Structure 1
Amino acid sequence: MDSTTHKLYHVHGMHSRSHLDLYFSNKEDMVFAEDSLKFPMAMIHYKLSTGQIEGTFLVDISISSFIHHLYSASKFFKKIVLLRFQEKCIMELNRWLHDRTGAYDWSHTSSAAAELEGTRDELQEKEMRLRSSIVQILKCDFEQENITSPVLLPLADCIISAWLLEMISKNEDEYMKNLEKIIKLLKPGGQLLLIGALDTTYWFAGGERFHCFKYNEEFVKNAFGKLGLVIDYYAVQRRRNVSNLTDYKAILFIIGHKGE
């Protein structure tokens, strides 16, 4: 499917609240919970809990305005900076961050985080902990040499990127260039936790069809190696839902560390 026949997330923008409702909500007709909510949360919690990922400063660079994948990160990293492409997504995140009227309800994910940590009686504390860890929400632009220009961030101990590269890359070359820009934000020895959708060509949000760059497991592994990331962990969960909103085949979770 030619990327010119439908929209590009980072160019045309999207309806952020619709995206959350379709893929990350607690609505009865939301069928992606196993893949978009439970799998990434469980994987990140598991790997951080092993003590193999350490530091104080984490950067999250993902699509949309979801936050559920960061509950465990806020337990281990004192400072978290969120990078997003769209002003609407930043506004949505700020509404939640400052607990304003109309903020998105993430209680279904805070309860899931509490269950993972074995502290189900501390639901509000999970969101409060995450809010206190987020020190900045910045707009990013991958056309710039410094994607956070004019802000110059310190190098991160850890970066989490969820469902981003396939959404903003039209082909293999663009994927590699965009991945390289993310790696530049990482300090030597730092680790990248990447979440992505395998073999995807499209996805819907707000009634609009968006482009997705189709790639497989071997492509991602090779991309990591070519750009100097040593793979520390890799897991794939085959798709566990039926929906025509998107055509991915599986969700991947991969961790790589930057050479010293």
Structure 2
Amino acid sequence: MSTSVSEVYQHNKTFDPSTYTESYLSLSDRAEPFAKDLLLFRLQQLHQFYITTGPMLSGCRILEYGGGPGHIYPLISAAPFASEIVFAEYAEQNRKVAEQWKSYSSETPEMTALLEHVVRMLENNTAKNAVQERAMKLRSLISQILPCDINQEVALRDCTLPFDIVSTHLCLTAATSSVEQYVLNLRKLARLLRPGGMIVMTEPIGGTFYLVGSQRLPDLYVSSTEVVRESLLQAGFTDVSIKTLKVRPTEVTDHVEYAFCTAVLDSV
């Protein structure tokens, strides 16, 4: 019996933000080993993307789509180049985590560790207050925290369009039931971008589920990175770049690979 997106993500009993964060967004020993490797891979790729592309998009507007329980980590490297960030997430309890972080009412050790890794290790910034200043800047850049639903005809409401960058990570396959719908959902994200704007995303390959605590959550089976590439092309993107991290299936997920993708919305 399949589980709908709303049943999975809208209820604290079935999706616990703190459990997800400890398992998948932590650099500590509490995290799943493969998840720690994946997190470091994403941070490295995001860092490389923004130091390479950011100067050309200086002052860009960024949409973090399907940000989950306070998934601020994809934006740490983006902050020096952004003028505004909109954080969009489906589940109310996950938006609350982001709101608490933005309002300084919550400072998790996981988020602090991610900030320190990016600023100290990847950027080699040794200034005394560099980590705190990056956190302050990121908070100030987030102008809105909004609900979203990729399976609605209008995937995001109540904000100014278009964006220069749409960033989405481990979101689309969790909310999509077929490859055909996956292409349609990518097209919905394309409508949020200006022509020539970019999408940056991480997608799981070759799996059907992941666990959050004891809860088994469904994922769209994507057979290869070529399916992701072709889907992006069908959705109107070009200049598709994909970098991958291979992993072994575990008891918490059967994914075999993760694809970090960037693409440009065709301006024609």
Cα displacement (A) at 1:159: 0.7
Please, which of 89, 93, 115 is the counterpart of residue 88 of structure 1?
A: 93
What is the root-mean-square deviation of aligned Cα atoms in Å? 1.8
Cα displacement (A) at 1:158: 0.7
Residue 225 of structure 2 corresponds to which residue in structure 1? 217
Residue 21 of structure 2 corresponds to which residue in structure 1? 20
Equivalents in 2 of 1:210, 1:232: separation in Å?
Answer: 29
Residue 172 of structure 2 corresponds to which residue in structure 1? 165
Amino acid at match of 1:187: R
Cα displacement (A) at 1:205: 1.1
Residue 209 of structure 2 corresponds to which residue in structure 1? 202
Corresponding position: 1:116 with 2:119: no
Corresponding position: 1:138 with 2:141: no
Could you say which structure has the greater relative contact order, defined with CA pairs below 8 angstroms and 6 or more residues apart?
Answer: 1
Instruction: Flag as ranges the 4+ runs of structure 1 deviating above 6 A.
Output: none
Contact 2:65/2:88 (8 A) holds in 1: yes
Please, which of 172, 189, 208 is the counterpart of residue 182 of structure 1?
A: 189
Residue 245 of structure 1 corresponds to which residue in structure 2? 252
Once the two structures are superposed, residues 6-51 of structure 1 have per-residue CA deviations (whole angstroms, 9 ceiling, x without a partner) of x34444211111111111124313121110x211111111121123
Q: Structure 1's 223 and 33: CA in aligned 2 closer, same or farther, altered over 3 A?
A: same
Q: Structure 1's 167 and 63: CA in aligned 2 closer, same or farther, altered over 3 A?
A: farther
Matched residues, percent identical? 21
User: Normalising to structure 1: TM-score of the pair?
Assistant: 0.91
Please, which of 53, 60, 83 is the counterpart of residue 56 of structure 1?
A: 60
Residue 34 of structure 1 corresponds to which residue in structure 2? 37
With 19-28 and 108-117 compared, the bigger mean Cα shift is at 19-28
Q: Secondary structure of 1:33's partner?
A: helix
Cα displacement (A) at 1:243: 3.5
Residue 68 of structure 1 corresponds to which residue in structure 2? 73
Cα displacement (A) at 1:162: 0.3
Contact 2:43/2:74 (8 A) holds in 1: yes
Residue 200 of structure 2 corresponds to which residue in structure 1? 193
Cα displacement (A) at 1:227: 1.5
Q: Secondary structure of 2:167's partner?
A: strand
User: Normalising to structure 2: TM-score of the pair?
Assistant: 0.88
Amino acid at match of 1:18: T
Contact 2:249/2:256 (8 A) holds in 1: no
Unpaired segments of 5 or more residues in structure 1? none
Equivalents in 2 of 1:204, 1:29: separation in Å?
Answer: 15
Q: Secondary structure of 1:175's partner?
A: helix
Amino acid at match of 1:94: E
Q: Secondary structure of 2:30's partner?
A: coil
Corresponding pairs, count: 252
